[in-house]
Structure 1
Amino acid sequence: MPRTRRAVIRAWIGELWLHRLVFLAVVLVLLLVRLLPLNTTAGHVPGPDLLICLIFAWMVRRPEYLPAPMIAAVVLVEDLLLMRPPGLWAALVLVGAEFIRSRSALTRELSFGVEWLLVAGVMMGVFAANRLLLGLAFVEQPAFGMGLVQILWSVLAYPAVVAFSRYGLDLHKPATGEIDERGRRL
């Protein structure tokens, strides 16, 4: 029986580490695209934060693939590259991701519309906490409207990121009673 290339790679690396490497590769591409000077004119509308969409989509579907240190490190590197105050956004995204992780059993049974509302609420909460903490520290911030537009774009981009994760990267919610490669229930 011939084995496909994907099956050979999964058997060699393992499902868990394969998805972690894929996540890091996608994050690297997102960071590189974000650093490219694609639109250098002033006053353009900010695009969605695809990294937070990707993290939250993966946390809803397979929270075991993204350990907390990996999320913190990835977002901290993004903070440093984008010259944001280091650590604050990483900590807030990590809190939001862990909030979603703690509800992984509940989100398995939710429809996509309710999941989308849950993730939108978490995104808004992370955005509001970031604005509040930066304001309390008297740190100069982008205009409120620009930040709000970016979060709204992120909420609207979430279904596309979920579709990419599901159909492009084969990341799905575990079915009830599904077991992993070690025989543990998911």
Structure 2
Amino acid sequence: MVDGIRSSVWFYRAIFVGLAAALLFLKLLPLGSLAGDWPGPDLLLCLIFAWVVRRPDFLPALLIATVVLLEDLLLMRPPGLWTALVLLATEFIRSRAALTRELAFVTEWLLVAGVMVALLIAYRLAFAVSFLPQPGFGFALLQTLWSVLCYPIVVAASRLAFDLRKPATGEVDAYGQRL
């Protein structure tokens, strides 16, 4: 019975929404918000990438867009910019699902790190083109580096807590469809 629930796509989608809400709540708490503090990693971005690499069918584009747009609105960022960039990045990774299935973890980590750096550059470039004020480049780069370093921890936690793994080649779901 439990195996049937855990194999449900909706179960994992609900878990993702719950984790995203918890991460947003923690991000909104006024903890360690002194000027000049080191930025923390973007754990929601790490979680999205880890889940899209492992099981792209668990996170549809609409769910990702909704969660990230809500994050944009709550964190008072320009609505939709970060959402569009994250959606493009996840679709880029999703389109390479067959390739990433066969990659070693270090190569996958480098792919995700490259996508995170590309997101940083695209986000800052959009701010520069529209002449919006932005935090220092070192601050944003440090947050991206923390996110890259936290990615393996998020992957390990997802594997241990939710048994989220890459499907094996030729693996089928309960309906006989290839994963």
Same fold by TM (over 0.5)? yes
Give the structure 2 partner of residue 173 of structure 1: 166
Q: How many Å separate the matches in 1 of 2:108 and 2:52?
A: 11
Give, in whole Å, the separation in 2 of the partners of 1:15 and 1:65: 9
Q: Which amino acid aligns with 2:167?
A: P
Is 1:148 aligned to residue 141 of structure 2?
yes
The whole-number CA distance in structure 2 between the counterparts of 1:88 and 1:61 is 25
Match of 1:182 in 2: 175
Aligned to 2:83: 90
How many residue pairs were aligned?
Answer: 179
Q: Which amino acid aligns with 1:162?
A: V
Match of 1:59 in 2: 52
Deviation by residue 1:76-127 (Cα, 9 ceiling, x = unmatched): 0000100111100000000000000000000000000000000000000011
Secondary structure of 2:63 counterpart: helix
Unaligned runs of 5+ in 2: none
**Please, which of 35, 40, 43 is the counterpart of residue 47 of structure 1?**
40
- Say whether 1:35 aligns with 2:28: yes
User: 2:4, 2:151 → 1: CA distance?
Assistant: 31
- Bigger radius of gyration among the two: 1
Where structure 1 has 5 or more consecutive residues not aligned to the other structure, the ranges are none
Residue 8 of structure 1, CA deviation: 5.6
- 1:21 is the counterpart of 2:14: yes
Measure the CA separation in 2 of the matches of 1:21 and 1:40. 30
**Aligned-partner residue type, residue 68 of structure 2:** V
1:9 aligned to 2:5? yes
- For 2:20, the aligned partner's letter is V
Give the partner amino acid of 2:93.
I
SS at match of 2:169: coil
**What's the counterpart of residue 137 of structure 1?**
130
Deviations 1:38-66 (A, max 9, x none): 11321101000001100010111000001
- The separation in 1 between residues aligned to 2:167 and 2:71, in whole angstroms, is 30
Residues 6-50 of structure 1: CA deviation (Å, up to 9, x unaligned): 23634xxx6111110111111011001111111132110100000
Cα distance between partner residues in 1 of 2:33 and 2:43: 20
CA distance in 1, matches of 2:162, 2:120: 28
Q: Which of 79, 93, 104 is 1:100 aligned to?
A: 93
163-172 or 111-120, which moves further after superposition? 163-172
Q: Distance in 2 between matches of 1:38 and 1:175?
A: 41
Query: Runs in 1 of length 4+ with deviation above 6 angstroms?
Result: none
- The residue that corresponds to 2:109 in the other structure is 116
User: What is the CA RMSD across the aligned residues, in angstroms?
Assistant: 1.0
TM-score by length of 2: 0.97
